[in-house]
Structure 1
Amino acid sequence: MVSTTETDGMHASENRHRTPDQILGPYFPMGHTPVTQADLTCVNGVDGFAQGEIIEVTGRILNLAGEPVRSVPVTIWQANTFGRYDHGNDPNPAPLDPNFVGCVGVQSDEDGIYRIKTVKPGAYPAGPDWVRPPHIHIEVHGRFERLITQMYFPDEPLNASDRLLNTALRPDLLIAKPVSSEDGCGHRVLNFDIVLSRG
């Protein structure tokens, strides 16, 4: 777990901005019920393990005052390691991973923290001259507002030319930050805090 002290929170509040909105995307998992376990690398009822680089994504959901947004639903969906969504309308010829369920529903805890274990999604073609960088879609149903956004990975060359990332008001707020793992898990851990206006 990534620890956050009260001092860090008070210092950050001076420069806190709402997380930019991003489009829902054409591959929102309509008709699929998100799995409710936080580990997408090995899902109950699926025989094998998901292919790809295992990562952990964690962060806090806060309001602009720095207060945790507690017990709100968070839906997270993504492409698999090959850049393919488990969605009937995805034209990408990349293979599906039968052991990867690309959509999860979790809840923030009493400190506003959410956490998932998944695989890094692959890049994929979004048009004749556009390849989308690896990203993860996140929808938060706060108490007063709904936020749909996307989390991008640090140091990805495709970030520089991505139209959706670079038209955001604050693209820097959409890039996750690498953090050290406190339990020595051996895989990459990324922090992505989400800020709502009111919560």
Structure 2
Amino acid sequence: MRKSDRRHRTPDQILGPYFPTGRRPATQDDLTATKGADGLAQGEFIEVTGRILNLDRKPVRGAKLTVWQANTFGRYAHCNDSNPAPLDPNFVGCVCIRSNGDGVYRIKTVKPGAYPAGPDWIRPPHIHFEVQGQFERLVTQMYFPGEPLNACDRLLMSVLYPDLLIATPASLEDRPEHRVLNFDIVLTRG
């Protein structure tokens, strides 16, 4: 394999402070329609899809992904989130899925809102990922393209290659009803 065919590992990001506790993550890949809820989640529906790969671009089959995020208003369904933004009773905000035989994963969700992280810091919209491959664990965050708050986010700007954490728009040909973003996650060995 040529050296130019190798990729960089997806950068690490912090786990919390709102890692889901006290609730079981959904096991369905559609967070816009939660079982037992009377309606749909509020906000812009999006689909996030990608592949879990190793540095040699080989798929990581059966990787376990725990994915969590704030709702469209920028609030987490977590007891420690003191953000006064409203909770969405139709949005759980956490899912646990596995990559398929080609390393592919997919979730349908809502675009999370920005939220205050301190007196002088607003976090841009982002989605958290915990990926457990066959040999390693990675905790990271996916950011949205074109967000003005990305340029001043302390966590995003703290990594060597911030562009590796920003999703890319995907083709809308097969899903014109909502935006599709691609976010490949690269582990060292898989």
TM-score in terms of structure 2 length: 0.97
Match for residue 4 of structure 1?
none
8 Å contact kept, 1:13–1:64 = no
Note the 1:4-153 alignment, pairs <5 A.
14-153=5-144
Unaligned runs of 5+ in 1: 1-9
Deviation at 1:72, TM superposition (A): 1.5
Hey, what's the Cα distance between the residues in 2 that align with 1:17 and 1:107? 22
Stretches of structure 2 lacking an aligned partner (at least 5 in a row): none
Q: In the TM superposition, what is the alpha-carbon distance from 1:44 to its structure 2 partner?
A: 1.4
Aligned match of 1:157: 148
Matched position secondary structure for 1:189 = strand
Q: Give the drift of 1:184.
A: 3.1
- Check conservation: 1:60, 1:68, Cα contact below 8 A: yes
Residue deviations 1:75-120 (CA, integer Å, cap 9, x gap): 0000000000000000100000000110001110000000000000
How much does 1:15 deviate? Answer: 4.7
Note if contact 2:6-2:56 (Cα within 8 Å) is conserved in structure 1: no
Report Cα offsets for 1:135-186 as digits up to 9, x if no partner: 0000001110000000000000000000000001210100000011342342
Equivalent position to 2:166, from 166, 175, 187: 175
Which letter maps to 1:156? E
Instruction: Return closer, same or farther for 1:12/1:61 CA change in 2, 3 Å cut-off.
Output: farther
Matched residue SS, 2:58: coil
SS at match of 1:164: helix
Compared CA separation, residues 13 and 46, structure 1 to 2 (3 A): farther
Q: Residues 32-76 of structure 1: CA distance to partner in whole angstroms, max 9, x if unpaired?
A: 211000000001111110000000000000000110000111000
Percentage of matched positions with identical amino acids:
74
Tell me the number of residue pairs that the alignment of Structure 1 and Structure 2 aligns.
190
Q: Once superposed, which parts of structure 1, at least 4 consecutive aligned residues long, lie more than 4 Å away?
A: 10-13
TM-score by length of 1: 0.92
Equivalent residues of 2:131, 2:138 under 8 A apart: yes
Distance in 2 (CA, whole Å) between partners of 1:95 and 1:165 is 26
Match of 1:195, as an amino acid? Answer: V
Instruction: Name the counterpart of 1:7.
Output: none
